[in-house]
Each structure stands twice: as structure tokens, then as C-alpha cells.
Structure 1
Amino acid sequence: MKRKYLKKVVSAALIGTLVLSAVSGCGNSEKESTDSKKTGENSEAWEKAATDPFAPYPELVTYTLGKDTQASPNFPEGDSYENNGYTRYLKNKLNVQNKNEFEAQGGDDYDRKVSLAITSGELPDIMTVSNIATLKQLVENDLVEDLTESYEKCASDAIKEIYDSFDGRALENATFDGKLMAIPSATPGIGAGLVWLRQDWLDALNLEGPKTLEDLEHVLEEFVTKDPGGNGEGKTIGLAASEKALFGNYGALNSMDSVFGHFKAYPKQWMKDEKGNVYYGSTAPEMKEALSVMADWYKKGLIDPQMATRDTDDMISTISGGQAGAFLGAWYGPDYPLPDSYKLEGGSKWKPYVVAQNDDGSVNAYNLNPTTNYVVVRKGFEHPELAIKILNQECWEFINDTESEDVKNILDNDVDRGTRPLNIEIQDFEHILRNDQEIMDAIDGKIAPEDLSAENKISYEGCKQYFENEATTELIPIIEHEKWYEGVPAGFNATVNYEQPAFYGQTDGMKRLWTNLEKLEDETMLKIITNVEPVDSFDEYVETWKSTGGDQITKEVQEEVDNK
């Protein structure tokens, strides 16, 4: 596939394990558009705007929006969600303006606003939806526009190439009966899951970095028994851990999925066997084997003995406070959760390692669902192409614009990206690796710094400052260097054997039964790992899971997969 548009690397919101929002809209088909009629001498200009990815509208188009807000938007004085650097940029480029029909903080509050809008029928032209269940509801009730034609005509070549990098997986999430009913987010690959270790502790104990699970077990034993951090007898934690989000989000902070992959166990994923039969990864025999290893580590004191009562913040405190010598995550570790650890008196040195390696050095993983949220357009809105035209600007043109004062203003003020009208990320599968290469090329003098995308310039400056003084204690240079010169190369240079889940969606049975089944799953896994229940209790869990709705849901998923 040609990549000429991807030579300029997008550098949008790199983390966030990992948590993104999306945009969706719906309403009754009689709701009137707020723009002028397309008549007379402007008719050709209106037609061009409706079919050209970058053509502005000849007259101002005001669209209503359901807006998910941010806890700390960091607006400059006088700015708002209807008037900020992003909205002004869009008005300048496309001649469009949002009028927010409702605003609510992203998450449960926003989801409730969406539900109320659907129930009342008072729907904005465009709004965000954060899950497939809501999207299905909108589609089944004929409340949203078919965006197939709008995408073909108005998605820029750059945006289309980004979606192509997922081999159809992203657009498929928003396609119903062959029609594209929403614009899905596209989240880049995360590389191999990593274990981050206190390198200064390894050096103090004269230990080499681990490759296999056996190697990692030995390192954790040495950390716990020899206390290289000077915490005191019995106070050093080997592997930091929390009872939150242990499985189901490969590469996320605290996720054990990278370890379980060694056993070809894929928790919380709907997989397909060689005969085409669908099964739920958390009930597969491989899970029992993986759980037995973690239970053994816990019994030996290698995993935080308080993991069952720690939330994520509490777990992070063991890392930043110098008690823990290891944590599971991915390339982003220097951004999260390590900054406070770097501030420790005397400093701390962390390094990422690819563990759970197979005999050939590769690791096993599953492809994450690239889509976390969606943009939808109200049925009957006069300009269904508007959403994709805005996304062309937000997700590519804006972040690669090196001259715009609006871009500069947003970066200088550290304005939250969630203040964009359509808060959705569209990034190609190799987005992170491309950013890394661009930053390194600038450091090596292969490309001019002024040619960097606006946000990559920030990372470049941090790395440059680090190399000018490698003994620096300033946080930004340390974070940027460790992220781009340690985290990304470790995660993305690894050989990963990706397994593709068969299904990411929601069935009718899940709506009624999944909450209880997931509670059973999470509680059982935690009890086995923490030795509250024996490993053999896994067999009883599987039978209970099947008999209380699991078999029914598996049948529904099989039908969905067979009908694709």
C-alpha cells in the first residue's frame, strides 16, 4: 500500500492508554439545517463543498453538536467549547461553526446526555457515542445517516490510508449491511507488552535483563529478597499490581495479557479455533495454565501481596514511592506512571524489557479493537459529509500545520485535545513507530526540525535537551528521551505474533447477562491469582460461566461471525 500521505507523521495524543472519545449524532429527519439554501450562483460552490474533502462552504454552516467536555480543558481566557483554537481553525478552513446543543463531561455524564437525547428525539446534527450498543440502537431505529458516499467523496487520501492500515478492521466496526453508518476511531498499534524494571536495581545486583518468564521470576526474587532499594526487610515489592484491569486490554498499565500470551491465553477476547468455532478466551484451557504461574508467583511473594485491595492510584504510589521494582505496561511508561518516580531523591532508572518470549524470541499477542468510539450524523442533516470534512482537518491537517497561529496557541497553552468539536482519534496502525522515527531523524540531522509536525517538535526539543545534558534532572527531557529512545524501540522492534479476535461487538444476550458473567470472571481470576481459591476452581468457573449465559452468548457470537 502506498504511504505518501503518511510520510508526514501524525503526532496526536500519544497515550492514553489508552482512553479515547468519539462522535455520534442522531435525531428526527425533519429537524431543519441552520445554513442557507443552495441556490443561484452559489450552487456550484455548494456542490464542490459537498464532494471535495477540503473545499469550504460558500456560506457559514452552523451545525448543532453534542459535546463531551474535559475536566481540565486549559482554555486561554475567553475561549470556550464553541470558540477556541480548534473551532476558529475549522471556521477558517471550512466556514463551519458548532452550536452545542448539550455539553457534559466525557464518560457516564455524557453517555446519559446521549441517552436522553435519543429518548426525547431532540438530537444534535452530530454527537459522540462511546460504545457499539448505542450505535446499534441508532442504526436499528433509523436515526443516523448512511455515510458510505460521504466517506468515499470527502475522506482525504491521508485519512483513507490510515483506515487502510488496519486491513478493514476499523471501518468494519461501523458497517451495517454493507453501509458505513458512523466514522469510527482508529487507535494505533501498541507494540509488544513490556515489563518496566528498575535498571539501577538490576545493576546493583549485577543482573542481566530478563527475556523469558523464568528470567523475570528470578529477577523479581532477587528484588524482593535482597532489597536493592533499601526499603527494609519485607517491604520491597517485586511486581507492582492492582486488582483493576488485570486482563482484556493488551499493553495497558497493570495488564497481565502480555504474560498470558506466552501460553496463548487471550482473556476477554472472542477467538476462533482452527475449525471456525468461536470461544471465549477467558474460559480456554490455556488460561488455567497461565493463572497457575501467576498464583505461584503470588505465593512466593513476587507480586504485591496487597494487590487485591489496591486501586490503580495506590499501585502507582508503590512505583513512584520506590517500593516496587517492576510493572507491566507498554512503550508509554515514561509518560505514565513514571514521572513521579523520576523525582525520587537520588533518581531512579527504569528500562523496558520484552519478556514471555518464545524460543525464537517472538511474543504472542492479540490485536486490540482499533475502535473505541464513533462519529455519527443525524438522519436528515443536510450536510452528512460535514463530519468527515471536520475529521480531515482535526486528525491530519491541523496537527501537521506548522504555520497556523491557532495550532501554535493550542500547543503553547497546552489546551486539551478533547476540546476539539469532534473528539475522536484517527491514527494509522504504525503511528507511534512513525513518530519515533521522525523524532530520531531530526535528532540525527536527517530531517530539519522545522519540518516536524507541530507536536513532534515538543518531543524533539525534549530529546535534544537530554542529549545536551544527560545528567539533567529536568522531567520533560527525561520523559521524552526514555519514551522515544527506550520504550518505543523496545515495544515496536519486537517480533509479535498477532492473533485476530473474531468479534468485538455486543449481542442481545450480552445486554442482559454480561454484567454478571464479567463479575464472575473478574472475581474468579483475582481469587485464583491471590491464592484465595485453588487453581482447579477454574474448572468450576468455566462450567458456571457456560450454564449462566455463556453458552447462549457464545452461540450468538458464532452467528454474528458466520454472517459477516
Structure 2
Amino acid sequence: MLDTNKKRRRLGSMVMVGMLALSAVLSGCGNGGDKEAESSTPSAPLELKDGKYDPPVTISYLRPWGPDVTFKSGEDQDNNVHTKWAKEKLGIELKNEWVSPSTNNAFETKLRLSLASNAEMPDIISYRGEFNLVRELIESGMFVDAGELFDKYANDTWKDAINEDPTVWYPYMQDGKRIGIPILDYSYNGDPVMWIREDWLKKLNLKGPETLEDLEVVMDAFTNQDPDGNGRKDTYGLTIGFKNWVNTWMSDAGWVFGAYGTMPNQWNLTEDGKLEYGSVTPGAKQALATLQNWMSKGYIPEEAGVYDETKAAEEFTAGKAGIVVGPHWMPTWPLEDVKKNDPDAEFKAYPIPTGPDGQAGRRGTPNENGVVLINKNMKNPEAFFTYQNYLFENFANPQAGGEFEYGFAEGYDYVLVDGKPSIDPSLTEGYAPEKYTLAFDGARIPSLSMNTLAKLANGETPSTPFEKKLDASVPTAMLDAAKLVLDQKDISLKQMFTGAPTMTMQMNNDILTKMEKDTFSQIIYGKTSIDAFDSFVEKWKSSGGDQMTKEVNEWYESVSGK
């Protein structure tokens, strides 16, 4: 159930929770004790004059500032090209309540302390990160039903983007209300394809695999027929790493389970509209038997259980493994190291293979990667929508001749060389002013990126500024991979439980997760029979799994209305 960026299921420290609870009780005796119950009436909506507020309106906000956000000399979080743009274009002054880095949980710690002491919250909190903190914010009662504001103030471009997948609201709902506005990301951005050493296939006169049966032929050859030609038996078929889990963001084995109709370590939607835990299905047993077989034959590394995602991928880039499974963007990292280590190496993306019954499945990635919360005491919440509406209308898919045609700001994310735009990092120095925005990336329309990449992969001429920018920056291998992702969009299996940990999860999830990891690892390594899976499922169900399933489905019914 872990997502790499959000880590939604990780429970916070009970000691910290207890300390914060005590602090909240004590602070409740002070002046701020009744703040949760207070809610000022919003002011009458401000009028725009020529598209901007005059006099300017201030939006106070909080957001974590990651190490990837850099500023030019003389600029900072409160004074930069973006804040100047917001004031000059829209009459909006953006002001950080306070600034804290995202590293070492510094932002989270400071925000939790503010919550516990009933400190005044800013107008807006934008956050991507620890899901438990999101739930603490939502449950604090300090934030308005943003869904109502969204329905009233959001423009059609933004609404259309969010309606591409209405489930993006689910993580941020409470009692049927949409408390948080999801920050949109590009669709299928982390969905995997199969990357294979094409030069090895050619040397051994093999075709790309379409089924697991085909794949085993390829893996056997990569393991036993010296594909790198060095005269030593030092290669193998597939690199995976399941130190963190078998279903993760790169170098994973979730697609093996997908070939048997399930996805482990997440809650999947069944044909009858219910949610089931993918690790306890009959398909999971078949997948584990397959992985056990591959391990016994040396097709996957003995160190798979101690490899994390990055370490496992290094086996491919180092020329030890012939196959790795991961996102379409891997040619930009880490697969660029393949040719550094072997200038004659070639790699190519292939579709996720099908199982014995013709099924295929891959780990799906959500269309959202963060949330915006609006303080119920914000006097003019429509100002935030004026800001974000403008970005969706003008920045998300910019028009030719528009102010964002080449990027956010000249001299930052692009420069003009002899009158032509360039995004060469050596010239732009890596500045990305869209990262200064309240929603971290400006504004994103989920379907736009992958559809554009697929269009370019088909050989169509880029016509819009967005298409031209991608065409100038994306390698051909990534275009081809994106097309494969879209061609197989129907096999994407997303985590369908995105709510707060249920009561049983809070009490039993650590024990159940450890039991699951231990059992899966022992089966894959052949230390126990595949039949141990059956006893694991029985114990999982009786140790809280059945109750957890009931609670998860009650949550799903509450948010989906199904």
C-alpha cells in the first residue's frame, strides 16, 4: 500500500501523537482554544479590474520547499519571478506564513507543532508528502469544504482536468465533503513497461516476449547463453528488488501478479464493485509460485530481497541483467548509464507480458500527488481560484503567442538564443519557476503529457507549444515507451483505498504487513512450500484482515456512493 512520494499507509509515531495531543489539550486552555469551532463569514467576493485585484489581495500560505527548488541570487521564497508575476498580472500578493525545508521532516514537525498549539493557520496549505499529516489537517476542523468552492469558482479547464478521474477527490474527503482540492499530476506517469537489452535479443536471435512463457525463454537465454560475450556466466534475465515491496515504483514484480489478475499490497476493485486486498487472492499464489521458479533457475538475482528499487535498476545499467521493469521515463534516469557502461548497448521498451489466461496487469499511478487546503477563516477564497484558474487556462497547455509559450519566465526555464527558445540546462542553469507555485508544478492536465508523447511517437509533427517543448526534450526511447503505456492503459491497476487508515489497520497493519513480507520472501526463496500461502491467507483473515476488508469497503461506499 506504499506510494513512493506519499507513503500513505505509514502510521506516525504514537509517541509524537501522544505528545501533540497533550500539547493540544494544554493549549486549549489559552486564547486559541475555541478556534476550531470558529469560522468567520467570508467577505463579499472581490471584483477583478482588467483581470487583476486593485488594490492587491494577499494570500498567506504554507508549503514545503524541497531541495530541487532553487532561486537566483537576490530571490527567495517570498520574492522571486513568480511572486512578482502574481502581483503584476493578478494583483495577488503571495506570502509564506513561515518557510521550512522538506528535508528531515522539518516542515512536518513544525506544522504539527503549530496544529498542536492551535496557532493561526494561513489561508492556504499546499502539501505533498506524509498522508497521516494530511488527515490530521483535515480532521482539525480548520479547513473549509473546498469542494463547494471548487464547484462555484473553478473554471471549465480545471474542472475538466479533475473530472478525468473523479477518484482523485477520495483521499481528501470527510463525511461526504471534499475538504482538500487534489493537486493533479500527469496520468500513468509511473506506470511501468518492460525494458530489455535489445542488443542481447539480436545476438541470441530472440524476439521480444509477449507472454510469460515467451519471457522465460528470453530469461533463460540471458542467464545461460553469455549474452554479453565475455565468456563468463555472470548475467541473468530479470532484475527486481523487493526490499521495500514486490509492488513498487521501479524494478518491481507487481506485473507478475498482474499476469494472474491481481496486484499485491494494495486494494483492487473487483468485478462486483468491491475492494479486495491483492496479496491474499488465488492469483497472488500463482505469481509467487512463478517467482519461486524463476529464483530457483537463477533468472532473478539472489540479492533481490535486499535490493531496493534503485539498486536493482543498477544491475541493468551495469550490464548484469537483461530486463528491468519501470516507468516510461527511465531513459532519462537511470538508463542513460547503460551506454556509459557499454557504448554498444541498446535497450528498448516492450509491453507488459500476459499470463496463462491472457491477462496482464501493472501497478497504476494516481492522477494526483498532493492537496490544497483552504482555511475556513480565509476572507476571500475566490482569490486562490483566480490564481489557479489562470494557470490552468494559460500555463497547463499554453497557446502559441501566449505569455507561457516557451516556459514560465525567460531567463529562468528558457532563454532566447538568436530569437529562438532554448531549454538547454547549461543556459538556463536549471531554474524552474513553476516549482515556486502554490501547486508545486503550476497546473497539470492529467491526460496531456502521455497523449502528447504518444502522438510524437507516432511521427506526428508537434504543433502546440507543449508538444514542441516535449519534442525538444524527450528521447525517442521514452516516446516509444509512453505509447506502449497508453496502448495498455486498460491493464493499469490503481490502489483503490486512499482513505485514512481504518481502525483495524491502526491496530493490526504492522503485524499483518510483517507476516505478509516474511511469507512472500520465504516462498520466493524456496525456503517454504508454496502451500504456506494458504495458511498465511487464513491467518491474515483471522488476524484482522476480514474486518479490515469490511472497513475498507465501508469507506469506499462512503466516498463513491456505490
TM-score range, shorter chain: 0.7 to 0.9
Note closer, same or farther for the CA distance 1:145–1:256 as it changes in structure 2 (3 Å cut).
same
The amino acid of 1:124's aligned partner reads P
The amino acid of 1:102's aligned partner reads W
- Secondary structure at 2:526's aligned position in 1? coil
Equivalences for residues 43-192 of structure 1 within 5 A:
47-49=46-48, 55-106=51-102, 108-122=105-119, 123-129=121-127, 130-166=129-165, 168-190=166-188
Note closer, same or farther for the CA distance 1:508–1:452 as it changes in structure 2 (3 Å cut).
same
Structure 2 match to 1:529: 524
Please give the per-residue CA displacement for 1:259-291, whole angstroms capped at 9, x wherever unaligned: 211101221222354555543111112111111
The amino acid of 1:200's aligned partner reads D
Cα shift at 1:444 = 4.5
Structure 2 match to 1:488: 482
Cα shift at 1:505 = 1.5
Worse-superposed segment, 302-311 or 354-363: 354-363
- 465, 469, 487: which one aligns with 1:452: 465
Cα shift at 1:105 = 3.2
Structure 2 match to 1:335: 332
**Aligned partners of 1:339, 1:124: CA distance in 2, in Å?**
43
The amino acid of 1:111's aligned partner reads E
- Secondary structure at 1:422's aligned position in 2? coil
Worse-superposed segment, 497-506 or 524-533: 497-506
Matched, 1:408 2:381: no
Structure 1 match to 2:424: none
**Aligned partners of 1:247, 1:310: CA distance in 2, in Å?**
11
- 431, 438, 441: which one aligns with 1:421: 438
The amino acid of 2:389's aligned partner reads N
Note closer, same or farther for the CA distance 1:88–1:528 as it changes in structure 2 (3 Å cut).
farther
Worse-superposed segment, 80-89 or 151-160: 80-89
Structure 2 match to 1:515: 510
Please give the per-residue CA displacement for 1:354-396, whole angstroms capped at 9, x wherever unaligned: 1322689763346544333211012211122344433334455
Contact 2:60 2:96 in 1 (8 A): yes
- Secondary structure at 1:104's aligned position in 2? coil
Matched, 1:256 2:253: yes
Worse-superposed segment, 389-398 or 302-311: 389-398
**Aligned partners of 2:123, 2:328: CA distance in 1, in Å?**
38
Please give the per-residue CA displacement for 1:386-423, whole angstroms capped at 9, x wherever unaligned: 44433334455335445358533331342245433332
Worse-superposed segment, 418-427 or 61-70: 418-427
Structure 2 match to 1:476: none
Contact 1:21 1:423 in 2 (8 A): no
Cα shift at 1:190 = 1.8
Note closer, same or farther for the CA distance 1:92–1:256 as it changes in structure 2 (3 Å cut).
farther
The amino acid of 1:114's aligned partner reads L
Structure 2 match to 1:548: 543
**Aligned partners of 1:351, 1:187: CA distance in 2, in Å?**
26
Please give the per-residue CA displacement for 1:239-268, whole angstroms capped at 9, x wherever unaligned: 11222444444xx31222222111012212
**Aligned partners of 1:521, 1:425: CA distance in 2, in Å?**
40
Structure 2 match to 1:11: none
**Aligned partners of 2:178, 2:145: CA distance in 1, in Å?**
6
Structure 2 match to 1:294: 291
Contact 2:173 2:180 in 1 (8 A): yes
Structure 2 match to 1:436: 453
- Secondary structure at 1:271's aligned position in 2? strand
Cα shift at 1:483 = 0.8
Note closer, same or farther for the CA distance 1:359–1:385 as it changes in structure 2 (3 Å cut).
farther
Contact 2:288 2:530 in 1 (8 A): yes
Unaligned runs of 5+ in 2: 9-31, 414-427
Note closer, same or farther for the CA distance 1:332–1:177 as it changes in structure 2 (3 Å cut).
same
Contact 2:499 2:555 in 1 (8 A): no
Note closer, same or farther for the CA distance 1:97–1:530 as it changes in structure 2 (3 Å cut).
farther
Cα shift at 1:480 = 1.6
**Aligned partners of 1:245, 1:397: CA distance in 2, in Å?**
40
**Aligned partners of 1:375, 1:213: CA distance in 2, in Å?**
43
Note closer, same or farther for the CA distance 1:361–1:544 as it changes in structure 2 (3 Å cut).
closer
Note closer, same or farther for the CA distance 1:483–1:18 as it changes in structure 2 (3 Å cut).
farther
The amino acid of 1:149's aligned partner reads E
Structure 2 match to 1:317: 314
Matched, 1:504 2:504: no
- 362, 382, 389: which one aligns with 1:385: 382
Unaligned runs of 5+ in 1: 1-16, 463-478
Contact 1:341 1:347 in 2 (8 A): no
- 457, 465, 472: which one aligns with 1:461: 472
Contact 1:271 1:281 in 2 (8 A): yes
Contact 1:438 1:452 in 2 (8 A): no
Structure 1 match to 2:22: none
Contact 2:265 2:278 in 1 (8 A): yes
Give the TM-score of the pair, scaled to structure 1: 0.80
Matched, 1:202 2:201: yes
Note closer, same or farther for the CA distance 1:502–1:341 as it changes in structure 2 (3 Å cut).
closer
Cα shift at 1:237 = 2.9
Contact 2:83 2:94 in 1 (8 A): yes
Please give the per-residue CA displacement for 1:41-67, whole angstroms capped at 9, x wherever unaligned: xx8xx5335xx9x94222222232222
**Aligned partners of 2:495, 2:308: CA distance in 1, in Å?**
28
Equivalences for residues 339-378 of structure 1 within 5 A:
339-357=336-354, 363-365=360-362, 367-378=364-375
**Aligned partners of 2:397, 2:269: CA distance in 1, in Å?**
40
Aligned length: 506
Structure 2 match to 1:8: none
**Aligned partners of 1:528, 1:359: CA distance in 2, in Å?**
21
Please give the per-residue CA displacement for 1:477-496, whole angstroms capped at 9, x wherever unaligned: xx622111x21122212362
Structure 1 match to 2:28: none
- Secondary structure at 2:286's aligned position in 1? helix
- Secondary structure at 1:373's aligned position in 2? strand
- Secondary structure at 2:333's aligned position in 1? coil
Worse-superposed segment, 200-209 or 422-431: 422-431
